Structure 1
Amino acid sequence: MNKVLISVLGNDQPGILATVATVINQRQGNIENLSQTLLHTVFGALLLVDIPKQETPESLQQALQEASASMGLNITVHPWHEQIADWHQNKPETQPYIISAIGPDRQGLVAEVASQLFKHGVNISNLQAIFKGGKNPMENVMVFEIDVPRATNMDELREALAEIAKRLDLEISVQHRKIFESVSTILT
């Protein structure tokens, strides 16, 4: 089997995953991993797929594009030869945290927080950000799921994020994932 990475982008509508998954199945491919999201009305998905040796990324891409032609999707199939990054090869022991940031929309919010996390050796495993603009803080929210190395000084990380919060008029919360999930469960 050959591994390919498939990206699917387009206007959200019913049937996108059904169409893509059906074509993959018909061509004896196997979806190993899938991540799908909506950004406002834009659908986006990444699929890691095993395809038979006789299948090529180009022929699979053509089949996917033909099957989804009426949907107006942008589908790309790339050969995937996994190369594990140094960080993953020598991954430190980490703890899962959740950072939420709420406040007025302005240019550079994601860059500010992400850069500070990088300076502290923190890996972002998932990020959801909704920016509707304006000053209403509840319309501008970022939620980072992060892996924090145990060696990271959490007081220093919190101080650095507090400085960003003060400068950019944000409310930033840093919680261990277990605490975040427990509070969320209690509130629902």
Structure 2
Amino acid sequence: MQSLVISIMGKDKPGLVDALAKCIYKHQGNWQGSSFAHMAGMFTGFVEVHVAAEEKEALVTALDAIKDLSVQSVAVAASQESNTTKLTVDVMGNDKTGIVQELTSVLNQFNLNILTFASHCESAPNWGSLIFKAKAEIAVPENFDDRALQDALEALANDLVVDISATR
């Protein structure tokens, strides 16, 4: 079996995921996991698929032919779970230009790998401004000092609330 990571993007409309799923099924692909999102009228995401080596090229060709969808696929080696600890970092504060760059810069200073990252802004009716919220899952070495990370993140702004918890 060959492992493929498939990324998709297209103008959002009903049936995009179904078209992808039908194509994968037709080529005897086994859908392992996925993540999709709708943003600014576009639909995007990625899927990990296991497919027999003899079906790989036909699947990639069929994926490329899906109408109204930009598709890319990359063959990857089977993933190996590492023994690193995973932490979930929740951040909330007033929105400002550069906040994501500041957060990721701190994570990079600690040499941490971001496994997932999701963010959005929402209205804060009582304040008349936007609130930024982000959630990241990060891989950290064993015996990592998460208090030092929390202090560094909270130092970015006096209104930033940071919650760090172990991920199971």
TM-score in same-fold range (> 0.5) = yes
Identical-pair percentage: 22
Gap change, CA 1:95 and 1:23, over 3 Å in 2: closer
Q: CA deviation at 1:160?
A: 1.0
Q: Is residue 2:160 matched to residue 1:171?
A: yes
Q: Could you tell me which residue of structure 2 aligns to residue 97 of structure 1?
A: 88
Gaps of 5+ in 2: none
TM-score (ref. length: structure 1)? 0.72
Q: 1: distance between equivalents of 2:93 and 2:160?
A: 5
Code of the aligned partner of 2:150: R
Q: Could you tell me which residue of structure 2 aligns to residue 113 of structure 1?
A: 103
The answer to whether the Cα contact below 8 Å between 1:97 and 1:148 also exists between their aligned partners in 2 is: no
Code of the aligned partner of 2:152: A
Q: 2: distance between equivalents of 1:22 and 1:151?
A: 45
Q: CA deviation at 1:118?
A: 2.8
Query: Which structure: greater strand fraction?
Result: 2
Q: 2: distance between equivalents of 1:97 and 1:83?
A: 21
Q: Is residue 2:16 matched to residue 1:26?
A: no
The answer to whether the Cα contact below 8 Å between 1:97 and 1:147 also exists between their aligned partners in 2 is: no
SS in 2 for 1:54: helix
Q: Could you tell me which residue of structure 2 aligns to residue 137 of structure 1?
A: 130
The answer to whether the Cα contact below 8 Å between 1:120 and 1:152 also exists between their aligned partners in 2 is: no
Structure 1 segment 58-69 matched on structure 2, within 5 A: 59-66=58-65, 68-69=66-67
Match of 2:76 among 80, 97, 112: 80
The answer to whether the Cα contact below 8 Å between 1:121 and 1:152 also exists between their aligned partners in 2 is: no
The number of aligned residues is: 163
Q: CA deviation at 1:177?
A: 5.6
Query: Which structure: greater helix fraction?
Result: 1
Q: Is residue 2:29 matched to residue 1:37?
A: no
Quote the RMSD (CA, aligned, Å): 2.7
Identify the range of structure 1 (29-38 vs 141-150) with the bigger mean alpha-carbon deviation.
141-150
Q: CA deviation at 1:6?
A: 0.9
Gaps of 5+ in 1: 179-188
Identify the range of structure 1 (21-30 vs 141-150) with the bigger mean alpha-carbon deviation.
141-150
Gap change, CA 1:112 and 1:74, over 3 Å in 2: same
Q: CA deviation at 1:40?
A: 3.5
The answer to whether the Cα contact below 8 Å between 1:121 and 1:149 also exists between their aligned partners in 2 is: no
Identify the range of structure 1 (18-27 vs 41-50) with the bigger mean alpha-carbon deviation.
41-50
The answer to whether the Cα contact below 8 Å between 1:5 and 1:46 also exists between their aligned partners in 2 is: yes
The answer to whether the Cα contact below 8 Å between 2:86 and 2:137 also exists between their aligned partners in 1 is: no
